[in-house]
Amino acid sequence: MRKWILCLSLAVFLLLGTGMQHRETVQVPIIMYHSLAGAGGSNTSIDGGQFEADLQYLREHGYEAVTLSQLVDFVHHDGALPERPVVLTFDDGYWNNYSIGLPLAKAYAMPFVLSVIGRDTEIWSEQWAENLRHGHVTWEQIREMVDSGLVEIANHTWDLHKTEHGRKGAQIRPGESLEQYAAVLQADLGRLQEALTERVGITPISFVYPFGATCPEGTEVLREMGFLATLSCYDGVNTLVRGNPDCLYDLRRYNRPPDRSVEEILQDLADELR
């Protein structure tokens, strides 16, 4: 009996000592970035210095960046999360996420999630040129980011990040049948899944809606395709519940604009995150 109590106490000590808590629910804020090329009049672009300041604030205030896979592990497989988790995401797969974001992630040991658009990656892989504002990551750069152990890749569609022919991103089109819509998602998202599997050796488990344009009709299709988490662009703190897979769909995020730092965002959420 004494030996069993000693082992249990040691396990608890190790769990707490690493900052990991075995809780049944956890509040997780997700921060949404896009480009690190500088503001330039955009509400979704900041510069590298601002991103580094965010990372410094997170480290100094006890936040630990985690990946979407860790959220899935918490919900599905009894995994542990740190006391103050936060997820950092970059949408669209800009080259500056690689050239500026990856070195900073390494310097601060802060992982992030990069959602890539297959068609853009294909184009820039074939016609590579350094372009800080408009360039996108290549397949080779994606592989390097994944190999760093600090970047998780999410699916952001092959070629649905646009608004045309009555469709906004990956939403269902007015008058479109569920069968037609499912075929569109399976073909487009499946193409990126296959490309990432063949060229990078990974198969993403998360899908990020273009423009944050979520679609209830698509959730079941995404589940059937093997996606275990989806991300929106709606503000809000996420409450993860162990054993409840539904809480991982349409996860909410806070956009990080040039004029509102992560410090300000998280300070506004102080009451929710206690």
Q: What is the DSSP letter of 37?
A: B
Q: What is the DSSP letter of 247?
A: G
Q: Other CB atoms closer than 10 Å to residue 95's CB: what's the count?
A: 24
Distance CA 98, CA 257 (A): 19
Residues 6+ apart with CB under 8 A from 262: 31, 54, 57, 58, 256
Q: Give the β-pairing of 167-168 and 163-164.
A: antiparallel
Sign of CA pseudo-dihedral 33, 211, 198, 141: negative
Distance CA 235, CA 249 (A): 14
Distance CA 222, CA 249 (A): 10
**Core vs surface per residue 199-209: b (16+ CB within 10 A) or e:** bbeeebbbbbb
The pLDDT profile of the chain, 274 residues, written as one tens digit per residue, is 433 333 333 343 334 444 565 689 999 999 999 999 998 879 999 999 999 999 999 999 999 999 999 999 999 998 999 999 999 999 999 999 999 999 999 999 999 999 999 999 999 999 999 999 999 999 999 999 999 999 999 999 999 999 999 999 999 999 999 999 999 999 999 999 999 999 999 999 999 999 999 999 999 999 999 999 999 999 999 999 999 999 999 999 999 999 999 999 999 998 888 7
Distance CA 266, CA 176 (A): 40
Give Cα 208 distance to the centre of its chain: 7
State if pTM tops 0.95: no
Q: Strands, DSSP E only, in the chain? A: 20-21, 25-28, 30-33, 64-65, 81-82, 85-92, 112-116, 151-155, 163-164, 167-168, 206-208, 229-231, 238-241, 254-255
Distance CA 70, CA 26 (A): 12
